[in-house]
Copies of this chain bind each other. A is one copy, B any other.
Amino acid sequence: MIRAAIVGATGYAGAELVRLLTGHPQVALTLLTSRQYAGTRFDRVYPSLAGCTNLVCETLSMETLHQKADVVFTALPHKIPMSIVPELISDNKKVVDLSADFRFKDPAVYEAHYQPHEAVQLLDQAVYGLCEVYREEIRSTSLVGNPGCYPTGALLPLIPLVENNLIDMASIVVDSKSGVSGAGRSLSPVAHYCQVNGSFKAYKVAEHRHNPEIEAILSDVAGQSIQVTFTPHLVPMTRGMLTTIYAGLNTGVSQKDIQNSLSAAYEKQPFIRLTADGQLPDTLHVKGTNICDIGFKIDRRCNRLILISAIDNLGKGAAGQAVQNMNLMFGIEEIAGLDAVPLPL
């Protein structure tokens, strides 16, 4: 059994990791840390898990991590991970970091949007954990920077089209809509029920930190610098993220070309579904899963592609993908622990 620890287990991504790893057939969850809830049983913080885990939250201790874990999931705000990950890597642990600290190859980009990077020496070996794109690199690394939720929803549909040069790289607009759990468990006016219910709004327009993340990976894949306009919105629902992408089609590109490009990239991927004729992705269809649904439509009159993806922001957008990364890093079946049948509603 793989012994797993979660650092920052009581945030929403952490709690979803607890769920997935508790049910994972090849994992023994051995350690949960939480600053706020140290000394409290995890199932008192999340009573839905009563009877499923007896773990008590602990204070973060490198010594305990050393003893109890083969893999460490760091589900913390950025900046904290880079202060502990180097020691874990030295200790031969495998690490999946859910913060932004190890997502950027270029520390200058990270530092332009976050803060000074204190573990630059690890950036070379860190792999961006978008499994369908960097699978081989993930298999052979000890350190994964788990992608942000918005980048996951934007990159998966876009990458095959960018790689095949089907769309106008200067024309990409990403209009994303996220459920509230993406804002995390911290108390904030933005997450107060009465501010969310009946409310739909954009926020951090053209200045969200996931914007450079999307661009860095797209540029890497395309072999050229790509900039996109990115607008996140908040939807009155708990889980789910729909991403509507607009891009001009390159000359002569047909419906079939788009279809073939997506099919070639994804038809054998266990967690990507291309929606059937006439259907489009819906967040309800991927709730609680590690699945990304992708569909598209062409506006012929404007020669523009509308490309749509749906994920669960806590699943494929966070904890699900983190587990998928772990599976790849340990060479076990990629779908292990992630193959529950989705809820019909």
Which residues of A come within 8 Å of B, CB atoms? 12, 15-16, 18-20, 22-23, 44, 46-52, 170-171, 173, 175, 177, 179-181, 185, 187-189, 191-203, 205-206, 227-229, 231, 233, 235-240, 242, 244, 246, 273, 275-276, 279-289, 291, 293, 297-299, 301-302, 304, 306, 308, 310, 340-345
Smallest Cβ-Cβ distance to A302: which chain B residue: B229
State the number of copies, please.
4
Smallest Cβ-Cβ distance to A178: which chain B residue: B200
A280 near B205 with CB under 8 A, answer: yes
B199 near A196 with CB under 8 A, answer: no
Q: In the complex, A16 Cα to B227 Cα: how many Å?
A: 44
Given A283-B198, A287-B198, does the pair A297, B188 have CB atoms closer than 8 Å?
A: no
| 19 A-B contacts (beta carbon < 8 Å) | A12-B194, A16-B343, A19-B342, A44-B276, A170-B302, A173-B246, A177-B177, A180-B193, A185-B194, A192-B192, A192-B193, A198-B240, A200-B237, A202-B242, A202-B308, A205-B297, A205-B299, A229-B306, A340-B340
Q: A48-B286, A48-B287, A199-B240 given. 5 additional CB < 8 A pairs?
A: A19-B343, A47-B293, A50-B273, A201-B310, A228-B302
Given A188-B187, A246-B246, does the pair A200, B344 have CB atoms closer than 8 Å?
A: no
Q: Which 7 A-B pairs have the closest CB atoms?
A: A15-B344, A199-B284, A187-B187, A201-B282, A206-B299, A48-B342, A48-B285
Q: In the complex, A203 Cα to B184 Cα: how many Å?
A: 24
When the two chains form the complex, which single residue of B23, B181, B231 contacts A244, counting CB atoms closer than 8 Å? Answer: B231
**What residues of B have a CB within 8 angstroms of the CB of A301 in the complex?**
227
A194 near B206 with CB under 8 A, answer: no
**What residues of B have a CB within 8 angstroms of the CB of A291 in the complex?**
51
A203 near B242 with CB under 8 A, answer: no
B185 near A282 with CB under 8 A, answer: no
**What residues of B have a CB within 8 angstroms of the CB of A299 in the complex?**
205-206, 229
Given A198-B283, A198-B287, A206-B297, does the pair A46, B344 have CB atoms closer than 8 Å?
A: yes
**What residues of B have a CB within 8 angstroms of the CB of A280 in the complex?**
201-203, 205
**What residues of B have a CB within 8 angstroms of the CB of A288 in the complex?**
288, 343
A229 near B201 with CB under 8 A, answer: no
Given A47-B282, A244-B233, does the pair A15, B341 have CB atoms closer than 8 Å?
A: no
**What residues of B have a CB within 8 angstroms of the CB of A48 in the complex?**
284-287, 289, 342-345
Q: Which of A15, A231, A342, A344 has the most CB of B within 10 A?
A: A344
**What residues of B have a CB within 8 angstroms of the CB of A206 in the complex?**
297-299, 306
